[in-house]
Amino acid sequence: MRACFGVKTQLLISRVFSRPSTAVRWRAAQTRLLCSPPTGEEKPQRSMLRHLTTKIKATGPIPVAEYMREVLTNPVTGYYVRNNMLGPDGDFITSPEISQIFGELLGVWIVSEWMGAGRPTQLQLVELGPGKGSLASDVLRVFSQLRSVLGGASVSLHLVEVSPALSRLQAQSLTGSRSQEAHAEDEPAYRRGETTGGLPVSWYRRLEDVPTGFSIFLAHEFFDALPIHKFQRTQKGWREVMVDIDPEKPNQLRFVVAPSPTLASSALVQADEGRGHVEVCAEGGVIIQQLARRILEDGGAALIADYGHDGTKTDTFRGFKDHRLHDVLSSPGSADLTADVDFSYLRRMAGGGVACLGPVPQRTFLKNMGIDSRMQVLLRNCSDASTRQQLIASYDVLTNPAKMGERFHFFGLLHPRRLARPPRPEGLKLEKKPSPAPLPVAGFTELSFS
Ligand code: SAH
């Protein structure tokens, strides 16, 4: 369907994107999708391996979810806790790091949904897993360009981040030196500050700690980092895949199948499941339920962008190191671990209360948001040949179906009121004409500049 946005989103887009950007940030990027197989053995991360083997010796084989949680977020040796893994010098690169246009378009989406919700006086921007803080920074630039639209709304930024290393990087990029650690016991935030544009910003370890209130939630490449359980259909029924020590090589781990049902295999596999192997991200399910409840109670929306599928794939658990695929069980803690997001599971866990949109491919979402017009403005105002070439290359990485365009998807949660026809005023009830349709949701509907 081709819908005309008429005034609102279209106006926002032209206000933000009609001007050339002062500094165009781009990277000729390799993504997690453009990797080649590993070339050799990696140096083992001794302390993480020792920690895992001690644990397995004490309790027996551990579920893949526990393995993934330990490797990624163990408070001392976890991969995310210790590393700055994003960018050309790290292990992978993400869309917000490839081009600022990505974050700018999401900024327009947020303002447009805030308007669609009736311009509440409070707007909390909550980002889950903000990485280097680039996405939040690009969104805030749009907020400042649209200051007159946001008017008197009280805007604040809330970042949910487990990694002390990354939170320091985010603080530096978003506030300069205007943030400090919060130590009070009853304080839900572990760091507070003020962005360079003067907005309050706070950091939390868990979504539950973020204050309630009208919020727009962003999660870019966050759900794929959450631990998954793996299950396998056997002749005796569903069994959980576990991680064990290889009996032949004590410093090496291997996958084994649990001989009997576990709590997870009994509770997490759907009765009518048709696949032979299944991955379930129960932690992602809990977070989606929390988002849905908060949206229903306090108003707002969530925009989730990640690579994923709609309940069709089976074995997607994989590792990345130095922009290459990496064996998930080798040198644990030295590489990123990830699994495709199952959007059908997220939709089921969101329940019937909130409205779910998508998943739509990244290419479709960005085109619907006006990425082509933005590119035209940038290219028109750019005379330097190499910058032009790099702009075109980053556009290609984001939208090309063979790169990020089709593998990454956008999924939205909205308050059901947002999609309902507004009630007609009392006096007009006798008229035959239905009340006007709600405004289409930007990004999920094709945009027309008529
Ligand atoms: N959104 C960023 C970073 C993606 S990497 C981007 O697209 O560039 C995943 C991010 O989620 C990192 O910031 C990591 O530290 C954070 N993270 C991973 N697991 C988390 C958890 N359980 N709770 C909070 N943050 C987490």
For residue 267, what are its two tokens? Answer: 């509770």
The CA 188 to ligand 1 mean position distance, Å, reads 19
What's the N-to-C CA distance of the chain in angstroms? 15
- Atom 20 (ligand 1) nearest CA: 162
- Atom 21 (ligand 1) nearest CA: 162
CA distance 387 to 59: 56
Ligand 1 contact, 138 CB (< 6 A): no
Ligand 1 contact, 390 CB (< 6 A): no
- Atom 3 (ligand 1) nearest CA: 131
**Angle value at C-alpha 132, between 71 and 47, nearest 5 degrees:** 25
For residue 384, what are its two tokens? Answer: 């330097």
Helix intervals (H) in 238-384: 263-268, 282-298, 343-350, 362-368, 371-380
CA distance 112 to 225: 28
For residue 395, what are its two tokens? Answer: 């556009």
Q: Which residue has the tokens 């671990």?
A: 337
Ligand 1 pocket test, pick from 32, 106, 222, 303 with the greatest ligand atom count within 8 Å of Cβ, gives 222
Ligand 1 contact, 73 CB (< 6 A): yes
State the closest ligand 1 atom to the C-alpha of 85, by its place in the atom list counted from 1.
5
**Angle value at C-alpha 408, between 229 and 95, nearest 5 degrees:** 110
| Residue 404 DSSP code | I
Ligand 1 contact, 166 CB (< 6 A): yes
For residue 110, what are its two tokens? Answer: 């947020």
Neighbour count for residue 113 (Cβ, 10 Å)? 24
Per-residue pLDDT of the chain (450 residues; tens, 9 = 90+): 334 444 567 777 777 776 655 445 544 444 554 433 344 433 436 789 999 999 999 999 999 999 999 999 999 889 998 767 787 777 888 999 999 999 999 999 999 999 999 999 999 999 999 999 999 999 999 999 999 999 889 999 999 999 999 999 999 999 999 999 998 888 999 999 999 999 999 999 999 999 999 999 999 999 999 999 999 999 999 999 999 999 999 899 999 999 999 999 999 999 999 999 999 999 999 999 999 999 999 999 999 999 999 999 999 999 999 889 999 999 999 999 999 999 999 999 999 999 999 999 999 999 999 999 989 999 999 889 999 999 999 999 999 999 999 999 999 999 999 998 777 766 666 666 777 777 889 999 876 544
Residues in CB range of 368: below 8 A, 6 or more apart: 360, 442, 443, 444, 445, 446, 447
Residues in CB range of 312: below 8 A, 6 or more apart: none
Q: Which residues pair with 3 in a beta bridge?
A: 447
